[in-house]
Amino acid sequence: MTRTDSQSAYTLKRRVVLCAAMTIGLMVGSTRGQSRDGNTEELLKQPKGMCWIPMGQFTMGSDKGLPDEQPRHQVSIDGFWIDTTEITNSEYRRFTQATGYITTAERKPNWEELKSQLPPGTPKPPDEMLVPGSVVFTPPTSLTPVNNPGDWWSWTPHANWRHPHGPGSSIADKDDHPVIHVSWYDATAYARWASKRLPTEAEWEYAARGQLKEKDYVWGGKSITAKHANTWQGSFPHHNLKTDGFESTSPVKSFRSNGYDLFDMAGNVWEWCSDWYRHDTYHYRSRTNITFNPTGPDNSLDPNELLVPKRVQRGGSFLCNASYCAGYRPSARMKASPDTSLSHSGFRCVMTKQMWEEFRSRSKAADRK
């Protein structure tokens, strides 16, 4: 089993977004625009579009998976709220309209920042490559070995969340699809505006397992079929049977939810987490009997790309196939540099009790003015 290692396709195309500090905004769809007619209190009973995950203990990782999923270890998690679905195009549009935020893929790369992630002496790419853009899945037309992701990932100038396949493409009919082509910086900016944050890797896996704490899949079975999640059916990467009805992303809630009523915790798009990625995180963590609310390592280390710091992604995507990465397993880990954006990467957010109470207080105070 091999990993979907998409960074190989775009090492020379990475960019760093210069994120400006943003004023914390109101939670999407909550109290914005409400008057003092009593509606605010009703809306603030619980975070809109989120599910409560109660505190608990679970076995994180898998002894059947890839080396960075091992060894299994005990983790205890405090309760938290998590978005029921991945953040959609409609929700992300509201954010950009409210703030004027420009995503990483919409910004021209800074070569001085970019070359710091590359081996010394790497020549500067042609100027025509240093334009806004993102990485798009482009399936080969014939049988292709799965050891070279560069065969199916293409750097596409001016591809971004609004134009997922490049100029001329649109999301006009995809308001309820997960937003894609968002970097870790873009996801973090949205979360901050919505008074939320990205989930830790441990929170994400705990929620994904949906009370089936020892199972290999979020639906509890021993295998995957087209009815379970939006994944790849057929021979990856050149022939997608589309048995599940989708060639790329699917509308959120297209498949049955897990035990916590969360949708798309397997497949559809990879989801950013807050943690730095290290291949050896679990080895260090397993030295203690139980770890409480882990937030990940202090730095990143990927032996395959020592110069590139990376953040964790979870959940798999519409490209995941049993013969390739099986990333739809709840223990499966992916990683990418925080300035990376791709056509199968999105996110969802979480909120702690303290964050929710602080948000409620701010909203009530604003409503009294």
Tens digit of each residue's pLDDT (9 = 90 or more) over 53-103? 999 999 999 998 999 999 999 999 999 999 999 999 999 999 999 999 999
Question: What average pLDDT does the segment 182-210 reach?
Answer: 97
Q: How far apart are CA 51 and CA 253, in angstroms?
A: 14
Residue 221, pLDDT above cutoff 80: no
Number of domains in the chain: 1
349 and 199 in contact (C-beta within 8 Å)? yes
* Domain interval for residue 200: 6-21+49-368
The verdict on whether omega for the bond into residue 71 sits within 30 degrees of 0, i.e. cis, is yes
Has residue 87 been placed in a domain? yes
Q: Which two tokens stand for residue 293?
A: 């609310």
Has residue 233 been placed in a domain? yes
Q: Which residues contact 362 (CB under 8 A, 6 or more apart)?
A: 195
Has residue 27 been placed in a domain? no
Whole-model pTM above 0.75? yes
CA-CA distances (angstroms) from residue 227 to 58, 249, 267?
27, 15, 11
Has residue 183 been placed in a domain? yes
pLDDT of residue 42: 66
Residue, of 46 and 251, whose pLDDT is higher: 251
Mean pLDDT for all residues in the chain = 87
Has residue 221 been placed in a domain? yes
CB atoms within 10 A of CB 124: 13
Has residue 330 been placed in a domain? yes
Q: Crossing angle of helices 184-193/89-99, nearest 10°?
A: 70
Has residue 340 been placed in a domain? yes
| Phi and psi torsions of 42, nearest 5° | -65, -40
Has residue 125 been placed in a domain? yes
Residue 341, pLDDT above cutoff 80: yes
pLDDT of residue 113: 75
User: What's the CATH number where 84 sits?
Assistant: 3.90.1580.10
